[in-house]
């Protein structure tokens, strides 16, 4: 047997022992609150389909109409021949969502948020001859961390990690930093905790110390702000220092992502962002459907769904109190319940599964050690009864599940 195969057995056995082995579960039914796995019905509180658009009839129709009109494949990367006129329309629409927040804004569309993040960070860190100082929030998403790792591999970065709850420490480092090009990078809504980045304060620091501010709003776009334009609309922020990342596989119900920034920054990305340059453009049919999704999000339906989601969040927060577990304070659709050990988290997830609820245990390295949790995500599509049922089941389990 090749060495590698032998070694993999050993290392997977270690993951099993530490209860850290991940596994795939295949869903039989479309994304929704009531799904089936292997024929078994489950109530799902784990998708990022915050508005319930992932199986919406209008988007199903738009995706098939898009395929009829524009074809299924793009055929090439954006800079060869894969950039279709419908991609232009989509980018113009995406830019319009941030036009109140970023002067001279332009948008660039990517096939995933992961690619958008590694593209933006690696390209931004190539600006100027000196090393770029990157200030990264400690709980940032893995794709931001990987972008920074790649940028460090280019040899163009000095990295500082900061705690978004303690910005005085961040300011101390910024004050002493003589690098001409500085970049602060943060999640907009922290993906495992559900709290918001202190963007007003971060922007003040960016202004004072001449830094750019990159905000990954994967969990805010579609959900926050009157029109669902995300965190910047919600916080009425405006600056040409902001690089905004939105993703389209969560609230927007399809997939894809975009960067909005000053047009000069986008012009730079088109030259330097390797995952943009060397990856096939996603389907023009998808771009067509995404245009429809954004119309839904900013219109009356979106406003109703956001109100409904907000009601569901309040219903959950008022519906349950824990004595041993810790419900993290969050006003977003991401509602974590920290239970501590991997073992408890797994036991809880499996008890929930038996009771017909799908809420996965989130373990290190996704979250810090000893902070294993249930990551409950709420959707506008959940009914009052579904949320009340979850509250009741979790209260009971907290009393009755053996603790470790």
- φ, ψ of residue 293 to 5 degrees: the values are -60, -45
By the 10 Å C-beta count (0-12 exposed, 13-18 middle, 19+ buried), 10 is classed as exposed
- CB of 213 closer than 8 Å to CB of 206: yes
Question: Which residues, at least 6 apart from 56, have a Cβ–Cβ distance to it below 8 Å?
Answer: 253, 296
Return the number of the residue (235 or 344) whose C-beta is nearest ligand PLP: 235
Cβ nearer to ligand PLP, comparing 113 with 336: 113
For ligand PLP, the nearest residue by Cβ is: 113
Q: How far is the CB of 218 from ligand PLP (least distance, A)?
A: 3
Q: Using CA of residue 382, residue 385, residue 388, residue 393, what is the dihedral sign?
A: negative
Q: 187 or 398, CB closer to ligand PLP?
A: 187
Q: State the minimum distance, in angstroms, from the CB of residue 343 to ligand PLP.
A: 26
Token duo for residue 275: 């995952």
Q: How far apart are alpha carbons 394 and 345 in whole angstroms? A: 12
What kind and span of H or E run contains 294? helix 284-298
Contacts of 268 (CB under 8 A, 6+ apart): 123, 124, 127
CB of 163 to ligand PLP, least distance (A): 17
Nearer of residues 215 and 266 to ligand PLP, judged by Cβ: 215
Q: How far is the CB of 383 from ligand PLP (least distance, A)?
A: 25
Q: Which is nearer to ligand PLP, 74 or 186 (CB)?
A: 186
Q: How far apart are CA 185 and CA 59, in angstroms?
A: 32
Cis peptide before 246 (omega within 30 of 0): no
Dihedral sign, CA of 94, 235, 241, 173? negative
Residues that bind ligand PLP in the complex, under the rule CB under 6 A: 112-114, 117, 141, 143, 187, 191, 216, 218-219, 247, 249, 257
CA distance 37 to 124: 42
Do residues 361 and 32 make contact, with C-beta atoms less than 8 angstroms apart? no
First-residue to last-residue Cα distance in the chain:
39
DSSP designation for 374: E
Q: Which is nearer to ligand PLP, 156 or 191 (CB)?
A: 191
Closest approach, Cβ 110 to ligand PLP, in A, equals 8
CB of 300 to ligand PLP, least distance (A): 26
Question: What residues are annotated to the active site?
Answer: 191, 219, 250
């Amino acid at each position: 047997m090749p060495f590698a195969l032998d070694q993999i057995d050993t290392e997977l056995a270690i993951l099993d022992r530490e209860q850290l082995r991940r596994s795939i579960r295949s869903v039989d039914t479309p994304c929704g609150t009531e799904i089936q796995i292997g024929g078994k019905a489950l109530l799902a509180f784990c998708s990022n389909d915050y508005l319930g658009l992932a199986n919406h009839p209008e988007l199903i129709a738009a995706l098939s109409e898009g395929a009829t009109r524009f074809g299924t494949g793009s055929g090439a990367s954006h800079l060869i021949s894969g950039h279709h006129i419908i991609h232009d329309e989509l980018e113009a629409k995406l830019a319009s969502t941030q036009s109140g927040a970023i002067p001279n804004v332009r948008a660039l569309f990517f096939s995933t948020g992961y690619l958008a993040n590694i593209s933006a960070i690696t390209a931004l860190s190539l600006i100027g001859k000196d090393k770029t100082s990157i200030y990264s929030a400690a709980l940032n998403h893995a794709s931001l961390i990987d972008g920074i790792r790649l940028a460090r591999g280019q040899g163009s970065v000095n990295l500082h990690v900061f705690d978004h709850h303690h910005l005085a420490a961040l300011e101390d480092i910024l004050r002493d930093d003589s690098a001409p090009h500085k970049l602060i990078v943060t999640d907009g809504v922290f993906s495992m905790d559900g709290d918001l980045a202190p963007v007003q304060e971060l922007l003040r620091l960016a202004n004072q110390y001449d830094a750019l501010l990159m905000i990954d709003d994967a969990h805010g776009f579609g959900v926050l702000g009157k029109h669902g334009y995300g965190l910047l609309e919600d916080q009425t922020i405006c600056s040409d220092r902001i690089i905004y990342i939105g993703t389209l596989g969560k609230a927007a119900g399809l997939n894809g992502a975009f960067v909005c920034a000053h047009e000069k920054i986008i012009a730079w990305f088109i030259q330097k962002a390797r995952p943009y340059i060397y990856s096939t453009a996603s389907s023009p049919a998808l771009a067509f459907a995404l245009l429809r999704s954004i119309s839904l999000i900013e219109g009356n339906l979106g406003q109703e769904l956001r109100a409904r989601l907000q009601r569901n969040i309040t219903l959950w927060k008022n519906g349950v109190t824990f004595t041993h577990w810790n419900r993290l304070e969050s006003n977003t659709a991401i509602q974590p319940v920290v239970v501590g050990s991997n073992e408890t988290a797994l036991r809880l997830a499996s008890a929930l599964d038996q009771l017909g609820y799908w809420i996965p245990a989130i373990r290190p390295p996704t979250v810090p050690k000893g902070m294993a949790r249930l990551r409950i995500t709420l959707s506008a599509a959940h009914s009052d009864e579904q949320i009340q049922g979850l509250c009741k089941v979790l209260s009971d389990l907290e009393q009755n599940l053996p603790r470790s």
